Amino acid sequence: DGGITQSPKYLFRKEGQNVTLSCEQNLNHDAMYWYRQDPGQGLRLIYYSQIVNDFQKGDIAEGYSVSREKKESFPLTVTSAQKNPTAFYLCASSIWTATVGTDTQYFGPGTRLTVL
């Protein structure tokens, strides 16, 4: 089975705790992304990574951190500095297309994070 997996599906966090969301892909994609989705809203980019050991801040990176030690994995940590972390988090990946720009992104099933 090829695709992107995210775990866990549901996550509950107490205020002041850091939590890490997992994202793994076996599509051999170079680029990976993390998005946040709030109810009735579109997706907002948190971080993205074009290649192993490199990543860039997206539009709403404050209070989040990532790592990209392996091509297949791009975990997201939601830190206690994120003031309103309750949301649906989506991970995606895509191929590298230097000539044509952003290509199709393939999404995981998402993790719903709730802060208690």
Partner 1 sequence: SQQGEEDPQALSIQEGENATMNCSYKTSINNLQWYRQNSGRGLVHLILIRSNEREKHSGRLRVTLDTSKKSSSLLITASRAADTASYFCATGSGGSNYKLTFGKGTLLTVNP
3-state secondary structure of 76: strand
Shortest Cβ 16–partner 1 spacing (Å): 27
Nearer to partner 1, 100 or 116 (CB): 100
Nearer to partner 1, 45 or 67 (CB): 45
Contact indicator for 11, 115 with CB cutoff of 8 Å? no
Using CB under 8 A, pick the residue from 21, 76, 90, 113 that binds partner 1.
Answer: 90
DSSP string, 18-67: -EEEEEEE-S--SEEEEEEE-TT--EEEEEEEEETTEEEE-TT-TTEEE-
Instruction: Name residues contacting partner 1, limited to 93-112 (CB under 8 A).
Output: 94, 97-98, 100-110, 112
- 48 lies in the binding site for partner 1 (CB under 8 A): yes
CA distance 26 to 116: 33
Nearer to partner 1, 80 or 106 (CB): 106
Shortest Cβ 14–partner 1 spacing (Å): 23
What is the CA angle 72-75-81, rounded to 5?
165
Nearer to partner 1, 2 or 101 (CB): 101
